[in-house]
Chains A and B, each alone.
Chain A
Amino acid sequence: MFSLINYLKKYKARIIIGPSFKFIEAVTDLITPILVALILDDGIPNDNKKFIILISVAILGMNLLGFICAIICSKCASKVSRGVGLDIRRDMYKSITELSASEKDKYTTMAFTNRIVHDVNQIETAIGMTIRNVARAPFLLIGSTIAAIIIDAKLSLIFLAIIPVILFIVITIMKKASPKYIDAKRNLDRVSNVTRENLSGNRVVRAFNKQDYEIERFDKVNNSFTGTNLEIGKLSSIMQPLLYLVVQLGIIGVVYFGGVQVNIGGMTQGKIISFINYFAQISASLVVIARIIIIFTRTGASIKRINEIYSLSPSIKQSKHAIELNKDMPANIEFKNVCFSYNNQRNMVNDLSISIKEGSTIGVIGGTGSGKSTLVNLLPRFYEVTSGEILINGINIKKYTLKSLRDYISIVPQNPTLFKGTIESNLKFRNGNASLDEMIKALKISQSYEFVMEKPEGIKTRVERGGTNFSGGQRQRLTIARALVDNPRIIILDDSSSALDFETDYKLRKALSTMLKTTTKIIVSQRTNSIKDADNIIVLDNGNVVGIGKHTELLKNCEVYKEIYNSQNKKEVL
């Protein structure tokens, strides 16, 4: 459970020191008008020059003191707020990496990053603002009010009348505006979405001669974005003059009733001027308080969102007595009556039993959504089998440590993702100490060696985020190379050669079978050509295993396999 208090505890001292110094600054602010009034009321009428100098120097000193105190408080505030943010981000990231796939599937990447970056930022802002203002604004508000009451109780009634009016104005307008800000954000997203679509599909746009239509489409979203902005503008342009009006009316009241008091006796000119000063301070601090209130409501929402992350806990845990899966052990795999379903819905894998010998090649084939990827994701325990068991060397994979299991098995996912850095840093993703020979071997097997060496910088070639500076086929080959480094005992290719032309795909398969004799290979594919030489082929259809066997056997007795094969090869037969 997320608790802000726990994070704040570490900074106890600063949380006390900051506002204390701010308090001193507020006191100096409050005293200044009193001292100025002394000059005006006592100094001038009595021609007391010494007194005037003395008081002026005192005010000057206080002013400087206030400034220094404010700096100290500001430093405390920024240290605490950003420090708390630092700690929260670290913990959040850690807990996210510890989650299992099934929990992560519930959120998009954006949802996670927005929480770590923006929601934590919101908390930081709120903490900083609170520390800087918690002493000052309410103290000035209360202090000014008390000071005003001391000067003249009746006159200060005007204050009391005006405080709720100001708060009411600020909060009403901000409340009205804040959903509009969300609208504006949404509309801006639409503008950027239409632009993004236009840029990415510009060839199609031109091919269909639809430039004018696109401009119209853009005009629509652009216009509604401007519309929301104008509405926000309307609200915000009225707030400042309205506040000015209220404060000035108050001042007129103060001067008039002050005049009445002076006429009766017991009030002076100087005091009226101080009164005006207090007035200005009250209205300024009211605006600050209103802003704090608004920020706090927003922070509440952020805390709620962060809490969602904290309340997730990894569903796949390592057992307490987990043992190491040694890489020297042969990679014999056995699936025993394995079933799997996401959230107890329809089975994505239904009662699969197969044993796979070390060094053999297993093909997995089936249509989209037939459960191929799901099946191979069970092996490194990204998901946990719902029933049945998976054994490596006769021991249930749940008994191995997650780390050793995942070092033992290497998976190349469907989506060829490279990380920002260099080709080398990507190859060293698993083992930072991988040798050059090892990397070159992996590049050669994956058919990447040639194009990597054609680059002027070889394996030091830069990789952009997501690998966008490589073609789809190159990316796939590099992800395969990455999986081969560090000699995994089992390698899983999850439809990872789809962007390769037939020739390269063929060379890749050949290299895998000749150069990695003792590695167990599991190849998921949509193409019968890619798996027809496998020692065993699993045919899936809607999660059901509809056939297991060699290519020639399946052609004879597996309808689904035959159908797939024919659709791909019938016309190609010479």
Chain B
Amino acid sequence: MSIFTNKNTPAQEESPIISEAQALKRSRKAKSIKKAFATAKRVISFGRPFHGYLYIALIAIFVQTFFELLVPIFIGKAIDNIISFGLVNFSELLKYLGFVAICVVINVIFTWMANYYTNKYCFKSSERMRKILFEKFNTVPLKFLDTNQHGDLLSRIINDVELLTDGYLEGLSSITNGIVTIIATLVFMFVLNVPLALVVLVITPISLVIASYIARKSFKLFAEQARSEGELNGYLEEMISGDRLVSAFNYQEQAQENFEKINQKFYKVSEKAEFYSNLTNPATRFINGFVYIMVAFVGAFLAIQGNVTVGLISSFLTYANSFGKPFNELSTEITELQAAIASSDRIFAILDAKDEPSDENLPELASTDGVVEIKNVNFSYNPKQELIKNFNLNVLPGQTIAIVGPTGCGKTTLINLLMRFYDVNDGAIYLDGNEITQIKRKSLRNKYGMVLQETWIFSGTIKENIAYGKPNATDEEIIAASKAAGADDFIVKMSHGYNTQVNEDGSNLSAGQKQLLCIARVMLIKPPMLILDEATSNIDTRTEQKIQDAFSSLMVGRTTFVVAHRLSTIKNADKILVMNKGNVIEQGTHNELIALKGFYYYLYNSQFAKV
């Protein structure tokens, strides 16, 4: 997680844009059928480019279901031609079996098509959905990313898209299949024999009631189980990763006790979930068995009266089975649909977030002299809590501005404003006389080279990481930049030099090495202005020296804003901004500020005081 979400504290002080309560309210509202349809429409719109697949799949489902239902009729007819000893009409028998074979083959082909195209439609739509979400992450204001937990956003792009696909899109095909099967079976049955059809029609819905009861119950239990498993996982992760502490504080027994509680809870809910979910099969068998008997029973009496043949009863027995199945599937589908609606709400909440205001019609700023003017700026992350009040600053080309203050004083806020990660509430910031909100963001941001203390290295090669800002850079340029940054020494010692792959968690690089790479990255693009953040964290002194040297050579001739911890940097600055509790409280040169005997004077002295 970014440093900004904790140090700068907007995350703590503001309620996230998508709060849980809101999501809950949404999902409750979603229960209205109208909403479900509107949601469905919107979900389906994601798959618009792939609707061709959907149409093929739907047609295939129709054809497949129809031929699947014809099979029992022809088998029944075939059986009717096997009357008894010596009374078998082979030509008719073979004719009907031929029909069966044709129906089976057609059914197989279309089932395969239906499956295949449904899959294709679902996977392609969910790919597009993920893409749209990812693009959204890169167009919303940074505030959105700062105030929402990244884990939560991640789970929306990964899990919710999946749930949505399962519920709505796959649901679409099984619901179609189910409805077609139910209607067609009903029609077939009524054509064949009305009284028997009525028997099936009356009894089967009972299975719907039972199956949906089980499905609802097990869905709820599964959700609980997932929560409980999350808790189990979380506790284990916390205790095992903090294991050194657990031993050091003799916490093992207490931990075991706590774990047992969570373990027991998981046992209880997972036992129930397993039990209920596995009732579906026997319950279905029970209901189907019941229908089966009733058909046989009623059919037998009708047969005695000479109204039906045995072959017809056989067809009916098969129909009784296939009529019951979609009811079971539909009831499972409904619970999945509920989950999908909740997921779609979570996804739409992101998509409905406002983008950064468009800068399409604003002019580019081709080059800069590095003159920055801050005029009467007011800013706060949270309207309830004032932060920067009436801030003014003039920076001349090539000047160095040091920002100092105690931990958590809000130094990064200034970076946020300069780079337009956040916009000021009042007043304005000018670059070479242009108000920065009146030029393209891109042309503002490419004037600055930024190196943050919280380094960002992505999984790729070292070379790719350095060339991040200039992908077409030559190897010579990359090596020159790394040498200037003092990074070349350690890079060439790595197993594959510049082509060494950085691990996903960056664990094959030390904190200092990462910092040097980030500096090399900026060295390569040679920006006219700089924003630097000096390191305080666990970097050994020799590496830190290298970083300092790199910073110094980078700063020559460039307008620089530096969050400073080192006295040398601070003393050499043209202007020092002293920040405390989010606000700029003093500004001036070192000597001016010392003479002022204010907060800076106090800070300065405390650093060098003796115990």
**Contact assessment for A498 and B119 in the assembled complex, using a CB-CB cutoff below 8 Å:** no
Shortest B592–chain A CB gap in Å is 17
CA distance A501 to B137 in the complex (A): 34
Q: Within residues 37 to 84 of chain A, which ones have a CB less than 8 A from any CB in chain B?
A: 39-40, 43-44, 47, 49, 52-53, 56, 59-60, 63-64, 66-67, 70-71, 74-75, 77-79, 81-83
Q: Are the C-beta atoms of B108 and A113 separated by less than 8 Å? A: no
Within 8 A of A (CB), among B264-300: 264, 266-267, 270-272, 274-275, 278-279, 281-283, 285-286, 289-290, 292-293, 296-297, 300
Given A78-B271, A229-B123, A104:B243 Cβ within 8 A: yes
- Whether B567 pairs with A198 at a CB distance below 8 angstroms is no
Which residues of chain B in 114-155 are interfacial with respect to chain A, using CB atoms and an 8 Å cutoff? 115-116, 118-120, 123-124, 126-127, 130-131, 134-135, 137-139, 142, 145, 150, 153-154
In the complex, how many angstroms separate the beta carbon of A526 from the nearest chain B beta carbon? Answer: 6
Kindly state whether residue A380 has any CB partner on chain B within 8 Å.
yes
User: Given the known A-B contacts A207-B448, A465-B238, are A242 and B541 also in contact in the complex, defined by CB atoms under 8 Å?
Assistant: no
A199 and B153 within 8 A (CB): yes
Contact of A498 with B271 in the complex, beta carbons under 8 Å: no
Check if A430 is an interface residue, CB within 8 A of chain B: yes
Whether the pair A417, B115 counts as a contact (CB closer than 8 A) is: no
Q: Are A429 and B104 in contact (CB under 8 A)?
A: no
Expressed in whole angstroms, the minimum distance between the Cβ of A281 and any Cβ of chain B is: 11
Q: How many residues of B contact A (CB 8 A)?
A: 156
Q: Does A473 contact B250, Cβ atoms closer than 8 Å?
A: no
Question: Chain B residue with minimal CB distance to A262?
Answer: B82
When A200-B456, A238-B112 are in contact, do A66 and B85 touch as well, CB less than 8 Å? no
Residues of A with C-beta under 8 A to B124: 226
B606 at the interface (CB under 8 A from A): yes
Shortest B318–chain A CB gap in Å is: 8
Question: Pick the contact of B79 from A25, A60, A269 — CB < 8 Å?
Answer: A269
Given A66-B285, A89-B263, the answer on whether A368 and B543 have CB atoms closer than 8 Å is yes
Do A265 and B249 have beta carbons less than 8 Å apart? no
Establish whether residues A222 and B256, one from each chain, have CB atoms under 8 Å apart when the complex forms: no
- Interface contact A82-B540, CB-CB below 8 Å: no
Contact status of A499 and B536, CB under 8 A, knowing A63-B293, A201-B458, A269-B79: yes
Q: Choose one: A82, A188, A471; the contact of B158 (CB below 8 Å).
A: A188
Residues of A within 8 A of B406 (CB): 501, 503-504
Establish whether residues A97 and B243, one from each chain, have CB atoms under 8 Å apart when the complex forms: yes
* Chain B residue with the shortest CB-CB distance to A193: B504
Find out whether the CB atom of A262 lies under 8 angstroms from the CB atom of B607.
Answer: no
Q: Is B260 an interface residue (CB 8 A)?
A: yes
CA distance A568 to B279 in the complex (A): 71
Known: A82-B274, A509-B611. A256 touches B244 (CB 8 A): no
With A116-B236, A255-B93, A430-B251 already in contact, the answer to whether A25 and B282 are too (CB < 8 A) is yes
Verify A222–B145 contact, CB threshold 8 A: no
Against A, the Cβ 8 Å flags (1 = close, 0 = not) of B306-347 are: 000011011001000000000000000000000000000000
Task: Tell me if A219 and B131 are in contact (CB < 8 A).
Answer: yes
Q: Give every chain A residue within 8 A of B543 (Cβ-Cβ).
A: 368
Q: A218 within 8 Å of B by Cβ?
A: yes
A502 engages B538 (CB within 8 Å): no
Nearest A residue to B405, CB-CB: A501
B191 at the A interface (CB under 8 A): no
What is the CA–CA distance of A465 and B142 in the complex, to the nearest angstrom? 24
Say whether A223 faces chain B, with CB atoms less than 8 Å apart: yes
Centre residue among A210, A229, A413, A533 by max chain B CB count within 10 A: A229
| Least Cβ–Cβ distance between A540 and chain B, in angstroms | 11
- Check: A513 CB closer than 8 A to any chain B CB: yes
Residues of A near B610 (CB, < 8 A) are: 533
Give the chain A neighbours of B471 by CB distance below 8 A. Answer: 213
Q: Does A419 contact B (CB under 8 A)?
A: yes
- B274 touching A49, Cβ below 8 Å: no
Assembled-state Cα–Cα distance A112/B124 (Å): 35
Interface residues of A in 515-565 (CB under 8 A from B): 526, 533, 563-564
Q: A44-B300, A215-B134, A501-B536 are in contact. List 20 more A-B contacts (CB 8 A).
A: A44-B303, A64-B286, A85-B267, A90-B263, A93-B236, A93-B263, A117-B232, A191-B158, A197-B458, A201-B456, A204-B468, A206-B142, A222-B134, A234-B119, A248-B71, A498-B537, A504-B406, A504-B407, A564-B541, A571-B566
A–B complex contacts, Cβ < 8 Å, 27 sampled: A44-B304, A67-B286, A86-B264, A97-B252, A112-B236, A116-B232, A128-B278, A192-B158, A195-B153, A208-B521, A211-B139, A214-B134, A215-B135, A215-B138, A233-B120, A245-B108, A249-B104, A255-B93, A255-B100, A258-B82, A264-B85, A406-B250, A419-B238, A432-B254, A506-B609, A533-B610, A567-B544
